[in-house]
Amino acid sequence: MLPLIAVALLAVLLFGLRFLGFANVAFANLAPVSAMALCFGLFYRRSLLAVALAFGLLVLSDVFVTVLAVRQDPNLSFWGLMASSTVLLRYAVYGGVFAVACFWMKRRTSGIALAMTPAMTLGFYVIMNTVAWLSSTPPFAYAKTLAGWWQSQTVGLPIPGAPPSYFFLRNALIGDLLFTVLFVCLVVWLPSSRRTADSALKLSENAV
């Protein structure tokens, strides 16, 4: 059974980081999307509750941020944003990360989760930026060359006020690693140590 208090704390972290990213560009892309897919898929692959939580939290956080955006700019469309190709692609990549964690990763340990988090973050980043490179159109368009692709992965487009692309990768790594560490501590290690302590207590009681 999922430790719901721990999951609730992780949900607060997700929503808090998404709000910070919306409120201040310095915190953009901190939301631990790929880490959440990895952790839930890795440790709770046979739990329907885990699947519902993993995807439900993502959708609810998207709704939360989209409502804030529409309130800030009434010209925006809630459903236009929620059903945009970028958001739908992100869901597809998120599902892919979840599937990899569920079916392809044989070992399911805390060390594997911590080691795989940066790889998943980088993969998520490269895929989304590659799509941005392919789909970009004038006046802000990448050259459809290897150099243009590399630009999309590193410095991005020279848009006034926009941070370079690697800034978003840095924030994604910070958010994902923070989420994975907390997930491992609250959902994996803490219940395990409690069970070990309970077992030791029962053994000592039986020995008396």
- The whole-angstrom separation of Cα 108 and Cα 129 is 29
Q: How far apart are CA 93 and CA 205, in angstroms?
A: 50
Contact 159, 147 (CB under 8 A): no
Q: Which two tokens stand for residue 58?
A: 């993502």
CA quadruple 15, 16, 17, 18: dihedral positive or negative?
A: positive
Count other Cβ atoms within 10 Å, centred on residue 33.
28
pTM of the predicted structure, to 2 decimals: 0.84
For every one of its 208 residues, what pLDDT tens digit does the chain have, with 9 covering 90 and above?
A: 567 788 888 889 999 999 999 999 899 999 998 899 899 888 877 678 778 888 899 999 999 999 999 999 999 999 999 999 889 999 999 998 888 888 877 777 888 889 999 999 999 999 999 999 999 988 889 999 999 999 999 999 988 888 999 999 999 999 999 999 999 988 887 765 554 434 433 434 344 4
Task: Give the DSSP letter of residue 185.
Answer: I
Helices (H), 24-158: 33-43, 48-72, 78-82, 85-99, 110-135, 146-153
Nearest one of 48, 40, 44 to 14, comparing CA atoms: 40
d(CA 196, CA 192): 6
What is the residue type of 133? W
Count CA atoms within 13 Å of residue 72 on its CB side: 8
Domain ranges of the chain: 4-207
